[in-house]
Amino acid sequence: SRRAHLRLCLEKLKVLVPLGPEASKHTTLSLLLKAKLHIKKLEDYDRKALHQIDQLQREQRHLQRQLEKLGSERVRTDSVGSAVSSERSDSDRGET
């Protein structure tokens, strides 16, 4: 029946929504209100997480550009003296 289906759905909702120690005392209305608050909290958390991802991606692109700039500067300084570049490549090989 429709009522049994509704009761089953409410039981499933009780499992998904953090109700605390008084879970058994909740009315249908209080359960739905708690569910609404929980959804709002999850949406807020999601929005903050997406903002953080966006910030980290910007930071990553910035660091990538700095790394590329440093790489091109190193190539220029290495080509100034071949003795410097061969010494440096020997020491790099030793560290890895």
In a domain, 90, yes or no: no
In a domain, 86, yes or no: no
The single-letter code of the amino acid at 78 is D
pTM above 0.85?
no
Q: What is the pLDDT of residues 3-59, one digit of tens each?
A: 999 999 999 999 999 888 776 778 899 999 999 999 999 999 999 999 999 999 999
In terms of residue numbers, what domain contains 49? Answer: 9-75
Angle of CA points 79, 81, 76, to nearest 5°: 25
pLDDT interval class at 73 (50, 70, 90):
confident
- Number of structural domains in the chain: 1
Q: Which two tokens stand for residue 33?
A: 């209100």
Q: What is the pLDDT of residue 44?
A: 98
